[in-house]
Structure 1
């Protein structure tokens, strides 16, 4: 397997950071909103890589090598010796279509030698939990499913995905990786600290939380945030919730990010489901623990030896909290995966990966997730 990487910046245009020896099997790109028009990105990649399958999305920040970037476009072209890929896409007109969309994509990509699926989805018009559940319902348990929800900086307005065409909103696309020659690794960890007592979700509907312990959820949340509540919903990225089924062991939690609030209903809207009966706790960031979480994700994904592509999907909330220190989480991943790993990635509105504790693929928020791809 070979890997070629490219970078576009407003100052320097396109530069090639690693060069290829042949025809690309797959091209992946992650682009800052407005860096170039979707049509221009596609045209430039077609000039470079011909008719190769091209998959990409908008971001909340870009990653290439050990660096975190803004206002850029990062690209990795892969050439496989034996393995193959196939892509599929669907358009969402309503969030209620999320589960069937995931199932339809997985059915289209299903095959005896399918090893992994990498999904990119619109980040504002989808229920990520339902999308993942639909995908898992249509593939065997040995297929690794990872990916992420497209970003739009910290604006949460419009995201877009491209699947061998110009990026557009409302799109969900996936690429399937096929063949016994492939080695796929994955890891996902957060590093956020819980605070306050665990509370029971007493009323919710899908991804909308109405009550915790019988109290309006938004009222309770504002009380804990104090002065930070004045910055809602944006400040909520810095104070996510961990949720887990009542009775499950500690460590089985998933993190949920608030993407909107309803002052009239006193409710909070999350990027994924918050089921009634689950336990919830507030969380806050600790820089050292967040960096350590990225390192643990890399350790879990580092089983592959030799040249590999490391796909990093980290949460926009981590980037906003860590500020200038955000490069530290990518640097530790680079150190753990080693010099033979070529890194690229983006900051997302949701991360898709098997859970680091339970092994079940889920939608995550506020995590660093890593997928490593190599060919034996």
Structure 2
């Protein structure tokens, strides 16, 4: 596997247009701010440079370039495989209620005997990420890892995804990787502290939470957050909700607030909050968040076969925008901790999101996560 990482600057891109010297590229991924990928027209420019490649990208809350967090440029990685095939499936959703069906249809288009993994990028505001993941997994099977995340818009107004087209809202893009050569390692960790007691979700509908222990959800948040509640939903990024399946206590998932309804006294989260599950509030502590990022890197690295790999190795980092909001200028510490654990064997590339898609650390079930750092290593084994 060969990688070309660069910022979408004219000087960089012009050097890549020399077709005679550029190796064949099958996949190009790009991440940038919503304003950037709207004004800079990355798809058209990248398609000119890589006419035969599949080009996929999304808007983000910040791009990870090496050990830096970048806001002002579009970050790109162009990937050439030795033995791996890829396939693209995409779909535009008319409503969030179509998310499960969308996932199933994408799964049907990508499934195959040699399907090794799927990278998913989806609209972060108009897609129920939990349903999308469940739909795909229900078709391709739980043994096929799903990785990726939900596009970020930085202001809860609009998020954009491109799938061999100009980026737009309400789009889901999924890339299937096929063959025995490609291998994935996974890591996902939070580092948030819980506070308060477990409460029962007594009324919810999909990702909309109405009541906890019979009390309006917004009332509970306002009581716990105090003055911070005035800034909801934005300040909710600092106080996510941990939910747990009582029939499977290892299945603990963190959920982030996307919006609220003051009349209904309800909160809408990035993924489902099922009735009957347990829930409790969380808050961030800087040092523990950094340790969580390092733990995610350790999990991913331990799950990767490096000795038999061929060529370069990619580490895809997808972290939650809520972590960035809370950590502020110290956000570089979680990136540095991740890279220190990964070492120099992996080329880092990633973005800040409204939701992260990865196998769950304990249950290994593919889930939509919030407020986590998720890291996926991608390598190809050497040809025999």
TM-score interval for Structure 1 and Structure 2 normalised by the shorter chain: over 0.9
Per-residue deviation, 1:139: 0.4
Contact 1:38–1:167 (Cα < 8 Å) also in 2: no
Shift of 1:21: 5.1
Per-residue deviation, residues 124-143 of structure 1 (Å, max 9, x unmatched)? 10111110110001103321
Question: Conserved in 1, the CA contact under 8 Å of 2:37 and 2:59?
Answer: no
Q: Find the counterpart in structure 1 of residue 185 from structure 2.
A: 185
Pair 92,38 (structure 1): closer, same or farther in 2 beyond 3 Å: farther
Matched, 1:133 2:130: no
RMSD: 1.6
Q: Shift of residue 39 of structure 1? A: 7.1
Q: Which residue of 2 aligns with 1:226?
A: 226
Alignment of 1:203-222 (within 5 A): 203-222=203-222
Q: Where in structure 2 are the equivalents of 1:328-347 lying within 5 Å?
A: 328-347=333-352
Q: Which residue of 2 aligns with 1:280?
A: 279
Partner of 1:41: 42
TM-score, normalization by structure 1:
0.95
SS in 2 for 1:37: helix
Q: Which residue of 1 aligns with 2:100?
A: 99
Determine which of 315, 321, 328 is the counterpart of 1:323. Answer: 328
The structural deviation recorded for 1:36 is 4.3
Match of 1:84?
85
| Post-superposition offset of 1:69 | 1.0
1:2–1:21: 8 Å Cα contact kept in structure 2?
A: no
Kindly indicate whether residue 61 of structure 2 is the aligned counterpart of residue 60 of structure 1. Answer: yes
Look up the match of 1:300. Answer: 299
Deviation at 1:254, TM superposition (A): 0.3
Residue 189 of structure 1 contacts residue 296 of structure 1 at CA under 8 Å; is this kept in 2?
yes
Contact persistence 1:2–1:80 (CA under 8 A): yes
Match of 1:116 in 2: 117
Task: Name the SS of the counterpart of 1:230 in structure 2.
Answer: helix
2:165 match = 165
Helix, strand or coil: the match of 2:41? helix
> Quick one: distance in 2 between partners of 1:200 and 1:32?
38
Query: Quick check: 1:193–1:284 contact (8 Å CA) kept in 2?
Result: yes
| Most deviating of 127-136 and 45-54 | 45-54
Residues 266-289 of structure 1, C-alpha deviations (whole Å, 9 max, x = no match):
111111111111111000001111
C-alpha separation between the residues in 2 aligned to 1:296 and 1:21? 36
- CA drift of 1:44 comes to 1.5
TM-score by length of 2: 0.93
Distance in 2 between residues matched to 1:32 and 1:13, nearest whole Å = 18
Q: Which runs of 5+ in 1 are unaligned?
A: none
Between the aligned partners of 1:335 and 1:204, the Cα distance in structure 2 is: 41
Encode CA deviations 1:230-285: one digit per residue, 9 max, x unaligned.
11111101000000022543x53100101111111111111111111111100000
Asked whether the equivalents of residues 201 and 213 of structure 1 are also in contact (C-alpha less than 8 Å), the reply is: yes
Residues of 2 paired with 1:260 and 1:32: CA distance? 21
Aligned residues: 370
CA contact (8 A) 1:148 1:313 kept: yes
Counterparts of 1:324 and 1:58 in 2: how far apart (Å)? 21
Match of 1:357 in 2: 362
Residues 316-365 of structure 1, C-alpha deviations (whole Å, 9 max, x = no match): 10011001111111111111112121111111111111101111111110
Q: Equivalents in 1 of 2:73, 2:331: separation in Å?
A: 16
SS for the counterpart of 2:42 is: helix
Match of 2:6 in 1: 6
In the TM superposition, what is the alpha-carbon distance from 1:300 to its structure 2 partner? 1.0
Q: Do the aligned partners of 2:26 and 2:52 also contact (CA within 8 Å) in 1?
A: no
> For structure 2, which runs of at least 5 residues remain unmatched after alignment?
none
